[in-house]
């Protein structure tokens, strides 16, 4: 019996036909070596950290519009969803036992992983995954040494026609903080969503000694980046002047799960640690 935001549900001890509505949930299950039979997706191109891992998993729509008919055809024995995303608990629970996590956005990614581990009966495996995560964090901290103590690292992404920066309590922000990397003052703070959307006039708010930047898959975001690079403010950024702007995968840096976290740490090794084999 599992308590969740929509009530209490009796779930199978070893689910064989798991359906998840949400990429973080899916990746959490994969990290725990439980492969879903169905999932919703919000991207067209599979991010590098999930390549080869989604074979055999059916897509059952998007987070906003899960396809109940497709879910039904998969005959799930358990459904995990987030805060009633796109489909009501009542509808889903008529198909299979359903649990709903109180997802509070990417600031709650660690809590969500632990919730999925509890639902799947994989709490011991989860402890090992957190131990592996901490080992990777400490390895990177040691490799960085003191050279990055005074350096500010910024992360921005272009999506949906806007410029966003992830704050200290975002997914990437938590990783950067645990590694011991400083953030620019405008990013060294928290809010409920873990992010701030900027106008082009506030481009200097993304400034740092190092900038990691992600671009969404759509052409508008690619064009927006090209336009930004032609702005006088862009060339005034410290990281631009020093040639320390690095492009990273958006779905990875906003993945909200341990598999994505491992990949973010690998990126930090790649771009910040000279001659270091991650």
Q: Supply the DSSP symbol for 47.
A: P
Query: What domains does the chain contain, in order, with CATH numbers?
Result: 2-121 (3.40.50.1980), 145-272 (3.40.50.1980)
Give the global pTM: 0.94
Looking at residue 244, its pLDDT comes to 95
Task: Give the pLDDT confidence score for residue 116 in this predicted structure.
Answer: 98
Encoding tokens for residue 67?
A: 């396809």
Q: Are strands 38-39 and 18-20 parallel, antiparallel or unpaired?
A: parallel
Tens digits of per-residue pLDDT, 60-79? 998 888 999 999 999 999 99
Strands (E), 112-218: 153-159, 162-166, 195-198, 210-215
- Report the pLDDT value the prediction gives residue 203, as an integer from 0 to 100: 83
Which secondary structure element, helix H or strand E, spans residue 140, and what is its range? Answer: helix 123-144
- Given this model, what pLDDT does residue 154 score? 95
Residues of the chain falling short of pLDDT 70: 84, 86, 218-219, 274-278
Question: What is the pLDDT at residue 86?
Answer: 66
Cβ neighbours for 250, distance < 8 A, ≥ 6 positions apart:
47, 157, 159, 214, 215, 216, 217
Alpha helix segments (H runs only) across 145-236: 171-179, 219-228
User: What pLDDT, on the 0 to 100 scale, is given for residue 274?
Assistant: 65
pLDDT tens for residues 156-186? 999 877 889 999 999 999 999 999 999 999 9
CA 64 – CA 25 distance, rounded (Å): 15
The pLDDT of residue 219 is 62
Distances (CA, A) of 10 to 2, 33, 38, 79, 253: 6, 21, 20, 12, 34
Beta strands in 151-207 (DSSP E): 153-159, 162-166, 195-198
Q: What is the pLDDT of residue 275?
A: 46
The sheet with strand 162-166 has its strands ordered as: 195-198, 162-166, 153-159, 210-215, 245-247
Partnered with residue 18 across adjacent β-strands are 78
């Amino acid at each position: 019996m599992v308590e969740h935001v929509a009530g209490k549900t009796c779930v199978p001890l070893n689910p064989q036909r798991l359906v998840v509505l949400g990429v973080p949930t899916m990746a959490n299950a994969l990290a725990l070596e439980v492969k879903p039979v169905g999932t919703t997706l919000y991207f067209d191109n599979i991010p590098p950290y999930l390549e080869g891992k989604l074979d055999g998993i059916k897509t059952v729509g998007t987070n906003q519009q899960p396809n109940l008919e497709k879910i039904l055809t998969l005959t799930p024995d358990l459904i995990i969803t987030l805060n009633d995303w796109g489909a009501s608990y009542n509808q889903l629970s008529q198909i299979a036992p359903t649990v709903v996590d109180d997802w509070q956005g990417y600031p709650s990614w660690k809590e969500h992983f632990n919730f999925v581990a509890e639902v799947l009966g994989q709490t011991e495996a989860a402890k090992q995954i957190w131990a592996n995560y901490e080992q990777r964090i400490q390895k990177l901290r040691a490799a960085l040494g003191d050279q990055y103590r005074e350096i500010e690292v910024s992360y921005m992404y272009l999506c949906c026609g806007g410029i966003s920066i992830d704050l200290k309590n975002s997914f990437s922000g938590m990783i950067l903080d645990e590694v011991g990397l400083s953030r620019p003052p405008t990013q060294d703070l928290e809010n409920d969503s873990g992010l701030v959307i900027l106008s082009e006039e506030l481009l200097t708010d993304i400034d740092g000694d190092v900038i990691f930047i992600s671009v969404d898959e759509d052409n508008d975001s690619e064009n927006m980046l090209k336009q930004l690079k032609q702005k006088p403010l862009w060339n005034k950024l410290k990281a631009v002047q020093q040639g320390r702007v690095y492009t990273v995968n958006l779905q990875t840096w906003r993945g909200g799960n341990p598999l994505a976290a491992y990949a973010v740490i690998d990126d930090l090794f790649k771009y910040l640690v000279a001659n270091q084999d991650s």
